[in-house]
Amino acid sequence: MIRPLSRIAAIFSKELAQLRRDRMTFGMVIMIPLIQLILFGYAINTNVRDIPVAVVDQSQTGLSRILIQMVEATRVVKVTERYVTVEEAEDAIKAARVRAAFILPDDLSQRVARSPAVGLGTPPSTNEETSRPVAQWIVDGSDTMIASSIKALRNMPLAELNRQAPNRATPTFEVALFFNPEQRTAINIVPGLVGIILTMTMIMFTSAAIVRERERGNMEMLINTPVRSIELMIGKIIPYIFIGLLQTVIILGLGHILFNVPFGDKTVDLFVGTLLFIGASLSLGLVLSTIAQSQLQATQMTVFVLLPSILLSGFMFPYEGMPVIAQYIAEAFPATHFMRMIRGFVLRDASLLDLHRDVLWMIGFFVIGMVVAALRFKKRLD
């Protein structure tokens, strides 16, 4: 009985010593739960606040400014843009600069003044005339949480504006949901799922690319070839580009067949945007591969990147509901930019030009990632 225990104790001591020497693995064991707990504990919030919206004030009166302040005081929305026409606001929603537009009509004062109180015995003819909503919300309905939060403002009381009408027989604001009027969850989830699956597979495939060559004993062969570092990096990612495009076709194709998710008319833009995201994800995986010393470390690093990509990109929880610091961290991940891009292409019929900021960021990330990976890769055994 003593001998088996002593042998087990010897193996136990050996594993502890090996773990203590492997500083990267030991650091990941400590840092992964610590950082994820702090980051997600603050970032994950289903109570959406400060949704960026645009205002189209066709009234241009003191009453309209007061009404805008009242809406902002709810902390549900935050006015970030102002436009003259409704068409400009709709273009801003399509380009994801804002998530909704607040339209105040030119006859706002008359609508507020004629707001009927419930149960006051207003004559039917007058009631039909005055039961119109005071203003209108145009909302990006592709995100169901965002749409639900703004719809909650629909019956906002106007007692401060019209003391004679503390209650209304009709909603205060009319809400028009664009792109997903039925608020079907699949419309929002399926395009986002493309980004999550590509993030998982592309980074996982390439994060072990260099490490695998070292562990299989192929590094000596690569050292003796005239292949340059950048050429090796490009050659490593090309096969996975086709795999990523195939996965995209499968997800969107089945999503269209099973859940009736629209494709939109921007097929070329969707192809280019997906190609850029695949390249950015593969370059990130190559950088991780040059840092990792084993395939186990490469897997740990992949998990370290994958979890924030899922939870901070806007796939599960609204980007607008996160604290500002979490939003800055989210902007560092390719999945965040691709989430805006693919939902724009598929659901809002946006173009590459409309989403040029995310496109430029993706190009920059790919170029920098490839350069860093090539510089870090040394054609030597040590």
The Cα–Cα gap between 192 and 347 comes to 11
Residues 259 and 189 in one domain: yes
Please determine, for residue 48, whether its predicted confidence score (pLDDT) is greater than 80: yes
Q: What contacts 264, CB < 8 A, 6 or more positions away?
A: 270, 345, 346, 347, 348, 349
Neighbours of 228 (CB within 10 A): 12
Instruction: Give the domain-ending residue among 178, 211, 237.
Output: 178
Cα 284–Cα 286–Cα 292 angle in degrees, nearest 5: 105
Please check whether residue 138 is in contact with residue 103, taking contact to mean a CB–CB distance below 8 angstroms: yes
Please determine, for residue 78, whether its predicted confidence score (pLDDT) is greater than 90: yes
pLDDT (0 to 100) of residue 47: 76
Residues 82 and 171 in one domain: yes
The Cα–Cα gap between 329 and 104 comes to 35
Q: Which residue has the higher pLDDT, 42 or 246?
A: 246
pLDDT band at 126 (very low <50, low <70, confident <90, very high): very low
pLDDT (0 to 100) of residue 109: 86
pLDDT (0 to 100) of residue 117: 43
pLDDT (0 to 100) of residue 142: 86
pLDDT (0 to 100) of residue 80: 94
For 62, 102, 106, 194, the CA distances from 161, given in Å and listed in that order, are 11, 18, 17, 47
Q: Provide the domain limits for residue 174.
A: 51-178
Rounded mean pLDDT, 280-293: 90
Residues 254 and 284 in one domain: yes
Neighbours of 182 (CB within 10 A): 8
Residues 80 and 167 in one domain: yes
Does some domain include residue 26?
no
Rounded mean pLDDT, 194-216: 87
Decide: pTM greater than 0.95.
Answer: no
pLDDT band at 305 (very low <50, low <70, confident <90, very high): confident
The Cα–Cα gap between 341 and 203 comes to 19
Neighbours of 151 (CB within 10 A): 17
**Lowest mean pLDDT, pick from 108-112, 133-137, 332-336:** 108-112
Instruction: Give the domain-ending residue among 124, 143, 178.
Output: 178
Does some domain include residue 190?
yes
Residues 197 and 284 in one domain: yes
Beta strands 100-104 and 51-57: pairing type? Answer: parallel
Considering the chain, what is the average pLDDT of its residues?
A: 84
Q: Which two tokens stand for residue 285?
A: 């995986």
Residues 222 and 318 in one domain: yes
Residues 164 and 257 in one domain: no
Rounded mean pLDDT, 77-98: 94
For the chain, strand residue ranges (E) read: 51-57, 77-83, 100-104, 135-140, 173-178
Does some domain include residue 41?
no
Does some domain include residue 59?
yes
pLDDT (0 to 100) of residue 236: 86
Residues 226 and 263 in one domain: yes
**Lowest mean pLDDT, pick from 113-127, 200-214, 312-326:** 113-127
Residues 127 and 202 in one domain: no
The alpha-carbon radius of gyration of the chain (Å, integer) is 27
Does some domain include residue 171?
yes
Which of 138, 167, 157, 153 shows the shortest CA–CA distance to 53? Answer: 138
pLDDT (0 to 100) of residue 17: 79
Q: What is the CATH number of the domain that holds 165?
A: 3.40.1710
Rounded mean pLDDT, 263-291: 92
Strands of the sheet with 135-140, listed across from one edge = 77-83, 51-57, 100-104, 135-140, 173-178
Q: Which residue has the higher pLDDT, 33 or 361?
A: 361
pLDDT (0 to 100) of residue 86: 95
Residues 205 and 241 in one domain: yes
Q: Which residue has the higher pLDDT, 143 or 369?
A: 369
The Cα–Cα gap between 347 and 189 comes to 11
pLDDT band at 122 (very low <50, low <70, confident <90, very high): very low
Residues 173 and 251 in one domain: no
Please determine, for residue 89, whether its predicted confidence score (pLDDT) is greater than 80: yes
Indicate the number of domains in the chain.
2
The residue type at 297: Q
The Cα–Cα gap between 58 and 104 comes to 6
Q: What contacts 248, CB < 8 A, 6 or more positions away?
A: 194, 198, 274
Please determine, for residue 190, whether its predicted confidence score (pLDDT) is greater than 80: yes
Share of the chain above pLDDT 90, in %: 45
pLDDT (0 to 100) of residue 372: 93
Residues 142 and 234 in one domain: no
pLDDT band at 26 (very low <50, low <70, confident <90, very high): low
pLDDT (0 to 100) of residue 253: 93
Please determine, for residue 201, whether its predicted confidence score (pLDDT) is greater than 50: yes
Q: Which residue has the higher pLDDT, 283 or 212?
A: 283
Instruction: Give the domain-ending residue among 178, 205, 229.
Output: 178
Which of 284, 362, 328 shows the shortest CA–CA distance to 39? Answer: 328
Please determine, for residue 35, whether its predicted confidence score (pLDDT) is greater than 80: no
The Cα–Cα gap between 281 and 203 comes to 6
pLDDT (0 to 100) of residue 120: 36
Q: Which residue has the higher pLDDT, 12 or 379?
A: 12
